[in-house]
Every structure is written in structure tokens, then in C-alpha cells.
Amino acid sequence: MRKKVIEIYQSGKGYKAISKALGLPRTTVRAIIYKWRTHGTVENLPRSGRPTKITPRAQRQLIQEVTKDPTTTFKELQASLASVKRLHNDQLLVCKR
């Protein structure tokens, strides 16, 4: 949708015309165009804050598990993630002196 806003904007249409054509509020159209002008993209940008604790690999595994069985509960996912972390850590144990 954001790319569509930029395409229409580049064709010479104004905020109001884009807003009507796509059924978006004018403020949303303006914000999208402002972001595109300042950052050169309409994609979500990285934000500040605490980094995620879950690794991309573990995240993919959880998504696969939920996709396979959508009725999976949070508790089951939590147990599954703990098992994955434990197995991963066991494989990477290093002898200490």
C-alpha cells in the first residue's frame, strides 16, 4: 500500500487525490510521503530499544511449529523453546580450566 502511495505521488497527484483513490486518511498519505522523502524508503526502519532475546533460528522454529499446529498453546511453545536452547547449549559446551 505504501509503495502504491509513492507511485501515485510520483505521477503528480496530490495528497487529497491519493487519499481519495486509496481510501486512506490524508495524514497517513502525508506521513508515508514524508518518510519516503527523508529516508528514501517506505519500509519499516529499525527502532531503538532492547534487542530481542530470541535468535532468528529459534524464531523460525517457533513459526514452523505454530504453522504446523495452530492450536499450540503458549506454554507448549515456551517449553519447546527452552528445550531448543538447552540442546543448543549442550552442543556448544566448552571445557573450562
pLDDT at 17: 95
What does the pLDDT look like over 15-69, one tens digit per residue? 999 999 999 999 999 999 999 999 999 998 888 988 877 788 878 888 888 888 8
Name the CATH code of domain 2-39 (choices 3.60.21, 1.10.10, 1.10.260, 1.10.8). Answer: 1.10.10
pLDDT at 96: 53
pLDDT at 73 over 90: no
- What is the rounded distance in angstroms from the CA atom of residue 18 to the CA atom of residue 64? 38
Grid cell in block for residue 83: 528445550
pLDDT at 93 over 60: no
- What is the rounded distance in angstroms from the CA atom of residue 46 to the CA atom of residue 56? 16
* pTM value surpassing 0.75: no
94 or 32: whose pLDDT is higher?
Answer: 32
